[in-house]
Each structure stands twice: as C-alpha cells, then as structure tokens.
Structure 1
Amino acid sequence: MDTSDQGITSPSAVYEISGRRFEIGARGFAEAIADAHAAHQRPRCLCLAEGVEMYVARLGEGYIVKRMPDTGSRHAPDCPSYEPPAEVSGLGQLLGSAITEDPATGETTLKLDFPLTKMPGRSQMPPAGGESGSVASDGSRLSLRGLLHYLWDQAELTRWHPGFAGKRTWATVRRHLLQAAEQKFARGQSLQSRLYIPEFFSVEQRDAISARRLSHWVRAIQTPGKVQQLMLMICEVKEIVPARYGFKAVVKHLPDQAFAIDERLYWRLTRHFEPELALWGASDATRMVMISTFRLNTVGAPAIVEMSLLPVTAHWLPVENAFDQQLIDTMVGESRSFVRCLRYGLSQSQVVATAVLFDTGSRACPLYVSTPGDDGQIAAFVEARCPDAWLWQTCGSDMPPLPGRASRSAAATAPVAA
C-alpha cells in the first residue's frame, strides 16, 4: 500500500496523470486514476524531477496508485511511496520468489511454507530465533512470521511520521492490515477470506460483532472425515494463561472468546519465544502481536495450530530487543520520520538495519545497532558496505546523536493543478 494513516498529517504525494498534476484526494483525483486504470496508463510520482512510474490498482470499490515492484528506493526519501532498499531488511530474498506482484492486475501471489489445512496430528510451532524450520526460510516461501512482517510492512505500520502520534489506534491498525491483505492470494485463494483480525470491541455492538465473527469463522469448523480448513488471525495478545484444560490465549478486543493452546504447544511457545516474551514482560508499554493459524472443533471452539509472536511499541512499531526499542523510542520522541526494517525469514546472525531515517535530505540514512552478541559483525558490515550509515555499538557506549534533519525536497512540495 502507499497510503498513510487516514486523517493524519504526513507528506502528500503529487502525481502526473495524463499531463495534469494531482495530490491524493484533490478534486478530480479519483476520476483521473479510474480513467488511468481503464486506459492502462502509468501515473508518475513527482517526488523527483524526472518522476517515477507508478500503476493504478483496484482497491475495494475504488482505485489506488501504487509503486511499481522493486521501485520503492527510487523515490525521494520523504515521499510516501519511498521504501528502503530491499537489502537493508529481509524482504530482498523474498521478492520475485515467495512474493510475486503483477502490476497488470494489481494482484500479489504469496507462497507460504505453513499449511492452511490440517489433518489429525500435532500442533506446529515455528522457532523464534530464525535458525531452522519455517522462520529461517530459503527465500522461496513465506514463514508465518514472514507473512506477518510482510503485512505489517504493506500496511505501513513500520513507517512513522510525527503526525501519527496519538492517532494509531487498534481500529487504524486493523483497517490498514485488512487493506494490505486485499488482492493478496495464497494457494489460489484470497488471503483476506482466511484472515481474521478482531474488531475494536464495543459493548453496545457485542452481538453484531459476535455474529460477524462466527460468520467469518464457519469455514474452519471441523467436519468428521474431511480435511479441516484453517483460519489466519492477527491480534494483540492480552495474556497466555492456564485454562481448565491445557492453556489459553486471551486476545484483546475479544473478551468473550479465548483460544485453546494444548500443553505441548504451550511449552514449545515458552522455549522458542523466550526473548519475545521477556521483552513483553519487561514493560507495560510493550504490546505483543500474534499471528496464528487456528481451527474450530465440532462445537465451534477455536484452538491455535501454529503461531508466531511480534513485540511492538505503544505505537505498534516492531522491536527485537531493548537496544532497538531505545532507538525507536528516541526517534519517536524527537519527532523523526523513519521506517522500521524487519527480518522476514533472516536469522539473527544475518545483518539487518534497525531502521532507515527518511527526513535526512536527498539520501535516506540506514541505522544499525551492534549488540554484544553479534561479535562485531554489524560494525564490520557497515564499515565495508555502508560507511555513511549511522552505527551504535552498544557495548559500553551510549547511543550517539541521530543524524540531523533536512527540509523536505522542493520536488515534494511542487505546486498542484487540480
């Protein structure tokens, strides 16, 4: 997606469509991109003087201007369509293999390395550290964690602008994730049809919310003698606690329905996700996001089959450890504009930027954090491959000052003719 949080002040893109300039939402913009879609025309983003080619895709009942595949880093850093180079995160190894986008249709095909059906057997659990199994993929398929990272990126929940402060609620997070899932397909089926994200809970709407939930879940009810369809869920976890039988995950905005976790899965969870759980437990300001597949038994009670966890800040920005949490909190506190980089399927031993600042002028600045456990690998990488990057070597060193801000480019503030 290339849209920012609705109702939030952020840099606005300027597009050239059929020789005319438009900002998103300007008079005539919706009609212009609908005409461009029908005529198979390519709008140009004017964040740079030479422009960057875009395409128009259908979104629900309307249309949206999207960046062409693999062109995000060609945009100006302060452009809403800017995306860091694929090599600073784990996304690069997946594009064109696990993730294939077709600009002609606007559809994206995802290859998954976890099942969406279940035969009788034991629950699955991807390892947290990314050393083996479904998390440490070879780039040809998306793990459960990789899918969550991809949707979080596509929903632009990794992007931060000072105007977002106080505006990124669960309702906003949910809306953007559902939009990110549109026109995404896995195993020939719409991802959105399998995806459940709890609605913002309202006592007055309890019955209507429950009815919509059960209607969405009906495909995953167990039928004797048949392969069971699984649902995908993205939610915020409230707690994981003992139940009358086994354990259960209690999900925020879903007070009347817990998700069963069998004992084997629970103990694998505590072992594989020990760092994530420790980070979550260390601060009440840290949230825990869960992605899971789940099934329904014959009486309609949900049970988790496979799951992965993602700690996030109060502003829903993903964090891996206390050091990058400090960096992200500092950038938010100093009203900086940046994008958080994610690992996708890369292991902890592989170098990934923590974030990229895009308010530093004509060139964005990647930020790297070298922790005691990396044995100097990150510092060596920065020195050899990215000498202009910002580096914090945390061993015995306070965090250095962040790179300075620059004013927005003239191209981004070009006059618009509606």
Structure 2
Amino acid sequence: MSQKFAVMIAYDDDPNVKRYSPDFQTQDEFAKGWQSALKKAHHTSGQKSVITCGCRGKGEKRLYVRALPNGDAFILVKAANTGIEHDPSCVFFSLDARHTGLKGYASGVVRITTEGDMAVRLGIGMTEKDPPEKSEVPPLPHVQRPEGGQASMTLLGLLSLLWTESGLNVWYPKMAGKRNDSLVRYRLLETAKQIRTGRACIGDHLFIGVPDPKQPVAQSQIQRLSSQAMSDKRLMLLSVLPRYDAEKHEKPLKFLPLRNFGGLPLIFFNSEGHWDSVKKRFSSEYAAWKSGAKIVVFALTSPAAVTGRGPSVRAHQIVLMHVSENWIPLDSSYEAVVAEKLDAEHRQYVKPMRYDASISEVFPDFYLLDTKRDKPFPMEVFGMATPAYLARKQLKKDYYNREYGPYGWWHWDATTASETMVLPHFPESRKPLSTGTPA
C-alpha cells in the first residue's frame, strides 16, 4: 500500500536540515520524539519551518503540520493540490481534484477541517432519526453538472472517496502479491477514521467483512455493531459478492449475498424489488459479476437488530463497484483488459474516480504514471458504437487533443478489436524493464 518516506524539516534559524526516517515516523519507540518534532514545526510554536517529503516525485512536495482535535497529537498533511508531485507509492500521492469527479461538487461538499480531518456533506443520514432515503440505490448521475456544482455526496461518491484516500485506485509493481483482503480492509478502516459528515465519523459506522466468522476480529466487530452505543446509528457495511452461481443467485433473494460475511450482520433487502433495482442501476457491474469478476458491495443499513439467530439489518441503499484482482476500480470489461495488460507489463497507473460527476464530465479511464513525461499520461478506452456514444467519442477526442496534443494520450477503440484483444502499445516507461539478457 502507500509508503512513508523520509521527511525533511528546515528552520529559518538553523542551517542544518533535520531528516526524519520512515522508521522514526512510525515505530513506537520513537513516537514521543516524532510528536515533539511535529509540535515544534507546528505554526503555533512561533518558529518558521519548511517541511518537504523525501519521496522520488517531482516538485517541492511541501507538507505542513496539523494538530488533531485533542490538541496533544500532530500529523503531517500535504499542501493543497500537490498530491501529483509525490511518487505514486507515497502516502501523500493523489491526482489533482480537477482531474477527478471531485471537481463536480459545490464548494464545501468536500473540505479539510482545521483539525486535519476530511469533512464531507452527505445526502444520506447517519441515524435512524434522519429522513428515509428517497431511493434504494443512489440516483443516476446528472447529464450536465448542476449550476454551482452538486450540493451533496451520494453513497457511491463516498465509496469513491474511501477508495481514493486509501490509495486503492493506484497501482505500482512493488505492490504485487501484497494487496490482499486484510490489507484493503485495514486501509479502508484507517481512512474512514479521518472522514466526518456532520458530527459523525465514518469510521464509527463502517464495518468490513472478513472471510472467517470465527476469527476474533469478526466476533469483536459483531459485538461492537450490536452494542447499545450503535442502537440508533445507521451502519455502512462493505464486502465483496461471492462467486456467481446462477442456481443460487437468479432466484428471488431475501438478503444480500456476501463472500466475506464474517463480522457482518445478515443484510435483508428493503423491499421485494430492491435487488432488481440494484441490478438495473449497476447493470455493468452485475454483468461483470456474472462473468466471474470481483465486485465490491457497499450498503447503508439500519442499526442491527439482535435475535437468537444473530444480528440482522435492513438495507437502505446498496452500491456495487467492479474491481480488478488488484482492487483497482473498473468501469467496463474493456477497462479490465487494459488493467490486466498494465499489470502484466509492470506499469504504474492510477484510476481517476468519477464520484458523482455528471455524464458530460470527461476523465480518462486511467493515467499512466511512469512514462517519460513529467505529468500523468491519460488513457481512454472507447467501448461502444451507438450514435450517441460516437458523438461523445468525438467530443472526448477533441478534448484530449486540445489538452494533451495528438500524441499526448493513449486510446484503444475496443469496438474494432478482434477476439485476441490486441491492444495498441503503451507509451514507453521511464525505466524499461531488464530482459535479463547481458548487454
């Protein structure tokens, strides 16, 4: 997952730059010393400092210190709009909001608080006292961005935010074999602790399933979500769908099927037609599931009701998201083909998340991060041949040619692909892989 790199702190009154290693930042034995260094660099200390990240990215990579709400602990955060300056493997890496669906929200829907947390304005309530949801799935995106931007974030947008802030939309070769279920779960739960909506912390509402219901972590989670403290709180439950089985899953379902169900309550649908609404709203994801793909499921539910058979909830809203075997979000089966080839060629790339952006917004399907250019290299897959799509295809081509030049972006017209799915060559990477053959 995301790595920490050395941090340099320079003070106006000291010619010697202080360097703090990743171990010093993370190991318990150095915790007191690290917090002391951050406190000294905080603006309230009266000393002027310049803090920079030591990752391999390009640019100033400026950081600054934020005090946590209790006032006794401090954290480092990146300066605004500098995430792209960091190396893709760095914990501070991110795409500029202008290159993701975040730009579609109105001012204040997503913001960083003075305490360093991320505050979001959700269009869904977090307690059972809140008004019921208007639909059992998030609404379809607007055709055009509303004037002034979208006024709130949906459950689908929140899933995109969790994925982005956890670094799960970024891939680099050193992560091969490491991004497993438990690591994904850990990163999402840690990220959720830093996101608030109103007075609620998302980390207090998010519960993620594990494979074995007998694991201590599963039993502990069941106890927590069933506790009196959670009796009036809506839950956010996340897992993946099990392997598709037509005999099991094409008949009427009463509850949501899950692969990693350990530590989660039984999730009943809100109505007889709820699952049909999910299949219709997320038709691409449902088709991918039937074809054997990995599908993340994210549900907003009622508080848990505990009976002799265990805890159960009723789903208010359900979201599906297609991901690769490396947990990179995908919008189509053609994107899956591209991601698989990128992985096979050991490339670094990022998936820009659409959040709740309108249909008219243009974002690449991927950005390559390891080309010889200083900036991310956009990649687009054209996957349909309907008249409406062809018109939009031309608008996209015009946009990319205008923004990046005719040779500054990669594309694949999948509608003309043969059964062998031969893709155009990717742009050359900065560091060509060694073939193992002596020069």
- TM-score normalised by L of structure 1: 0.81
Percentage identity across aligned positions? 19
2:316 counterpart of 1:305: yes
Q: 2:237 aligns with which of 208, 222, 233?
A: 233
Match of 1:225 in 2: none
Structure 1 consecutive aligned stretches of length 4 or more whose deviation exceeds 6 Å = 58-62, 120-123, 242-245
Confirm or deny: 8 A CA contact 1:52 1:74 kept in the other structure: yes
**C-alpha distance in 2, partners of 1:332/1:252?**
25
Match of 1:34 in 2: 35
- In the TM superposition, what is the alpha-carbon distance from 1:233 to its structure 2 partner? 1.4
- In the TM superposition, what is the alpha-carbon distance from 1:243 to its structure 2 partner? 11
Matches within 5 A, 1:147-186: 147-186=158-197
- In the TM superposition, what is the alpha-carbon distance from 1:107 to its structure 2 partner? 1.4
AA matched with 2:255: K
AA matched with 2:399: F
Paired residue secondary structure (2:152): coil
Matches within 5 A, 1:116-195: 116-118=126-128, 124-127=135-138, 129-131=140-142, 138-195=149-206
- In the TM superposition, what is the alpha-carbon distance from 1:355 to its structure 2 partner? 1.4
2:361 counterpart of 1:378: no
Match of 2:19 in 1: 21
Confirm or deny: 8 A CA contact 1:45 1:53 kept in the other structure: yes
Paired residue secondary structure (2:329): coil
Matches within 5 A, 1:263-412: 263-283=272-292, 286-295=293-302, 296-297=304-305, 299=307, 300-361=311-372, 362-372=374-384, 374-375=389-390, 376=393, 377-387=395-405, 388-396=408-416, 398-407=422-431
Change (3 A) 1:194 1:220: same
Q: 2:51 aligns with which of 43, 46, 60?
A: 43
- In the TM superposition, what is the alpha-carbon distance from 1:403 to its structure 2 partner? 1.0
Change (3 A) 1:370 1:181: same
Unaligned runs of 5+ in 2: 11-16, 43-48, 433-439
AA matched with 1:21: R
Cα displacement string for residues 140-166 of structure 1 (whole angstroms, at most 9, x for unaligned residues): 321100000000000101111111111
Q: 1:258 aligns with which of 266, 271, 287?
A: 266
Match of 2:46 in 1: none
In terms of mean alpha carbon deviation, does 353-362 or 117-126 score higher? 117-126
**C-alpha distance in 1, partners of 2:95/2:211?**
32
Match of 1:416 in 2: none
Cα displacement string for residues 42-87 of structure 1 (whole angstroms, at most 9, x for unaligned residues): 5212446763221245789976533123221244667553322322
Tell which structure's C-alpha radius of gyration is larger: 2
Match of 1:411 in 2: none
Paired residue secondary structure (1:21): strand
- In the TM superposition, what is the alpha-carbon distance from 1:172 to its structure 2 partner? 0.2
Matches within 5 A, 1:69-84: 69-75=80-86, 80-84=91-95
Confirm or deny: 8 A CA contact 2:124 2:133 kept in the other structure: no
Cα displacement string for residues 214-235 of structure 1 (whole angstroms, at most 9, x for unaligned residues): 322335876xxxxx53111122
Confirm or deny: 8 A CA contact 1:33 1:65 kept in the other structure: no
Unaligned runs of 5+ in 1: 223-227, 409-418
- In the TM superposition, what is the alpha-carbon distance from 1:307 to its structure 2 partner? 1.2
- TM-score normalised by L of structure 2: 0.77
**C-alpha distance in 2, partners of 1:118/1:233?**
16
AA matched with 1:352: F
Confirm or deny: 8 A CA contact 1:33 1:56 kept in the other structure: no
**C-alpha distance in 1, partners of 2:126/2:65?**
31
**C-alpha distance in 1, partners of 2:18/2:243?**
53
Paired residue secondary structure (1:267): helix
Match of 1:414 in 2: none
AA matched with 1:251: L
In terms of mean alpha carbon deviation, does 260-269 or 248-257 score higher? 248-257
Confirm or deny: 8 A CA contact 2:110 2:119 kept in the other structure: yes
**C-alpha distance in 2, partners of 1:316/1:114?**
26
**C-alpha distance in 2, partners of 1:98/1:16?**
33
**C-alpha distance in 1, partners of 2:149/2:106?**
12
2:119 counterpart of 1:109: yes
Change (3 A) 1:234 1:265: same
AA matched with 2:321: L
**C-alpha distance in 2, partners of 1:181/1:42?**
29
- In the TM superposition, what is the alpha-carbon distance from 1:99 to its structure 2 partner? 0.9
